[in-house]
A = this chain, B = another copy of it.
Amino acid sequence: MKNLKLAICQMKVGNDKNTNLKQAGKMIGKSASQGAEVIILPEIFNSPYQTDLFPLYAEPFPGPSTEFLAAAAKKYGVCLIGGSIVEQDSDGRIYNSSFVFDELGNLLTRHRKIHLFDIDIPGKISFRESDTLAAGSAIGTFKYKSIGFGLMICYDVRFPELARASVLQGAQILIVPAAFNLTTGPAHWELLMRSRAVDNQVFLAAASPARNPAASYQAWGHSMVVDPWGTIIKEAGIDEEIVLIELDFSKLEQVRNELPLLKQRRTDVYQLKY
């Protein structure tokens, strides 16, 4: 199998959409100049992560942010996984959606967040995406350069069924644009990213926004890349940073040969239907 050079842009996201797009453009350009073939932006990279603001920042496809992504992918000749944006559908609903473009600027896939982030931890964090967002219902797998990708947006990663279904559909790397916070981040960020990789014997790349002290929602940061044995092979801090790494997909075959978990599933005892 081939190698793949991948970059995560852990960018700081503010209130101004144009500034956000401009900053994304800079980091994409820098990643490409360092040889990245696949570039990943964080969850809601173009607007504040704030439920009441989602309708204000929502835009249709095609729209300014997706046009920006398509153009950047083409300009730099890369596969651009556009984190996510708030997407306005023609049916009046809005979604937390990830748009992916290939090196010609063509849309490879769109994944709408399936599991909305509704939590209430008294005294720590309360957040209800479902107040303004609708949920997607399709598993986000796609192929690029003959490698299988699986897209999950943030809260999606908490559901082992979705990661497993993506891998059974052919994903060899799971991509997780995600904004964990200062409660769930230290508790579960690393644990979830590593365990999805280990259980499914895949690479995993998690892309967080950088910490922004001015924002109402504090993102955890710590974007990371995990290998199929569960080792964190690259990790960011909390500030703006590009995580650049070359992945060797023979590692995936090696781990699957040593510990043939996926073949050892007892589908006579349980079955995942999707």
Contacts and interface: CB of A to CB of B under 8 A. Distances in A.
A67 interface: no
A217 to B, nearest CB: 17
A187 B137 contact: no
Interface in A240-274: 257-261, 264-266, 268-274
A164 B270 CA distance: 10
B192 A188 contact: no
B270 A273 contact: yes
A62 interface: no
Contacts of A135: 266
A258 B137 contact: no
Contact of A261 (B137, B158, B195, B273): B158
A160 interface: yes
Contact of A266 (B137, B266, B273): B137
A259 B121 contact: yes
A165 interface: yes
Contacts of A118: 260, 264
A197 to B, nearest CB: 10
Interface in A95-150: 114-116, 118-122, 135, 137-139
Contacts of A239: none
A187 B230 contact: yes
Given A158-B261, A199-B158, A271 B273 contact: yes
> How many chain copies?
2
A194 interface: yes
Contacts of A270: 139, 161-162, 165, 272-274
B258 A120 contact: yes
A139 B269 contact: yes
A198 interface: yes
Interface in A208-260: 229-231, 257-260
Contacts of A265: 159, 161
B230 A191 contact: yes
16 contacts: A114-B266, A114-B269, A118-B260, A119-B258, A137-B266, A137-B269, A160-B199, A162-B269, A165-B269, A165-B270, A188-B230, A191-B194, A195-B195, A271-B273, A272-B272, A272-B273
Given A115-B266, A118-B260, A160-B164, 10 more contacts: A137-B269, A139-B270, A161-B164, A187-B229, A191-B194, A192-B195, A195-B199, A269-B274, A270-B273, A270-B274
Interface of A: 114-116, 118-122, 135, 137-139, 158-162, 164-165, 187-188, 191-192, 194-195, 198-199, 229-231, 257-261, 264-266, 268-274
